[in-house]
Copies of this chain bind each other. A is one copy, B any other.
């Protein structure tokens, strides 16, 4: 309890591995959601890195992404040292991603405190976020164990996971800290309402803090197969170079999320609580939370709409000219145009699969 976060180097780890098809045709295998210009013309990823910068400078910010998009990410993040963009040869979910970075830091900077955040969230108030993350890092140092950021459950969302809070554990930097009693997967509406009413539930933000030693110990305890593979990869990296080691081991790492594989099993786990406006822009309809409302709904890019309402109209290429449409999503790019009613946007992956089945890989 004697050391402080300030005394140990903070390292930010931005997880930018997601591919996904929910933003097709704007998102592609080579341009995933986090690279789309959803943050006022900038990418969500660039916004995430810039938001952290006053707390963690670029030289201590690591971005983990897919090898497929690493060059695009380096281009997007021109202010970041190129070597700070870490390219996964294959996506193996977040436990592998976090473990890889922790094992690397255990060699290069074992006293570090890791702050882990997703690349594709929208958080308008950067100062509030940094305050919460600084408190999480301080808690990770002061109390040991793993720390998550629990956000005020402002409404009964069924699209988020929840944390049930246990005993209060004091505060950090103006934030209340609690022991986490349990993690809850996305609930149905009735349970979500009960969580909000109960008061001791928070949204699981997917943002974490821990010391390198703590996460390494937790992975060794709860994901021993992953730990063994990371040990082998580290040994090969020392002997053969990291590229060769990654190619040998990374695609075989166990595929499990850090929430399910580590957080839900570890103890102690602390929640630093915060009240942040926060969105994960899960589908085209989520754009409505980011962009000012137009008479036709939400529009982005070259769009002309007459007598249209409650639509999402996006162009990254040809003009979208809409007339007399309602509750419709239209997304046009140079080579593909999506047209789907608003209440069926979650089915976009069916279209993507149909294109894959037709061999239209150039559009994916």
Interface residues of A (CB under 8 A from B): 25, 304, 306, 315, 317-325, 328, 330, 332-341, 344, 347-348, 350-351, 354-355, 358, 360, 363
- Other-chain contact of A322, B306, B321, B340 (Cβ < 8 Å): B340
Q: B318 near A355 (CB under 8 angstroms)?
A: no
Q: Which residues of B contact A25 (CB under 8 A)?
A: 319, 321
A320 to chain B, nearest CB (A): 5
Contacts of A358 in B (CB 8 A): 304
User: Within the oligomer, what is the number of copies of this chain?
Assistant: 2
User: A348: which B residues are within 8 A, CB to CB?
Assistant: 323
* Residue in chain B with minimal CB distance to A308: B339
Q: Which residue of B lies closest to A320 (CB)?
A: B337
**A337–B341 contact, CB under 8 A?**
no
Enumerate chain B residues within 8 angstroms of A360, measured Cβ to Cβ. Answer: 304, 319
Question: Are A323 and B351 closer than 8 Å at their CB atoms?
Answer: yes
Select one of B320, B325, B334, B338 contacting A321, CB under 8 A: B338
Distance of A354 from chain B, by nearest CB (Å)? 6
Within 8 Å CB of A332, what residues of B? Answer: 318, 332, 337
The answer to whether A339 and B322 touch across the interface, beta carbons within 8 angstroms, is yes
Give Cα A92–Cα B322 distance, bound, in whole angstroms.
Answer: 32
Q: With contacts A332-B337, A337-B337 known, what are 18 further pairs, Cβ within 8 A?
A: A304-B354, A304-B355, A317-B335, A318-B332, A318-B334, A319-B337, A319-B360, A321-B338, A321-B339, A321-B351, A321-B355, A322-B339, A323-B340, A325-B328, A325-B339, A325-B340, A330-B339, A339-B339
Are A350 and B323 touching (Cβ within 8 A)?
Answer: yes
Complex alpha-carbon distance, A130 and B329, angstroms? 48
Of the residues B328, B335, B341, B344, contact of A319 by C-beta under 8 Å: B335
**Shortest distance between the CB of A130 and any CB in chain B (Å):** 40
How distant is the Cα of A6 from the Cα of B334 in the complex, in angstroms? Answer: 55
Asked if A337 contacts B347 (CB within 8 A), the reply is: no
Give Cα A340 to B322, complex, Å.
Answer: 6
Provide the bound-state CA to CA distance between A71 and B355, in Å: 38
The CA-CA distance from A67 to B354 in the complex, in Å, is: 45
Contact of A337 among B318, B344, B351 (CB under 8 A): B318
Top 3 A-B residue pairs of the complex, sorted by shortest distance between their CB atoms: A324-B344, A323-B340, A319-B336
Residues of the B chain whose Cβ atoms lie less than 8 Å from the Cβ of A363: 319
Complex interface: chain B residues within 8 A of A335 (CB): 317-319
CB pair B328–A339 under 8 Å, yes or no, is yes
Knowing A306-B354, A319-B363, A351-B306, the reply to whether A324 touches B337 (Cβ < 8 A) is: no
Say yes or no: A318-B336 contact (C-beta < 8 A), given A306-B350, A306-B351, A354-B306: yes
Closest residue of chain B to A330, judged by CB?
B339
With both beta carbons as reference points, the residue of chain B lying nearest to A25 in the complex is identified as B321
Q: Are A330 and B325 in contact (CB under 8 A)?
A: no
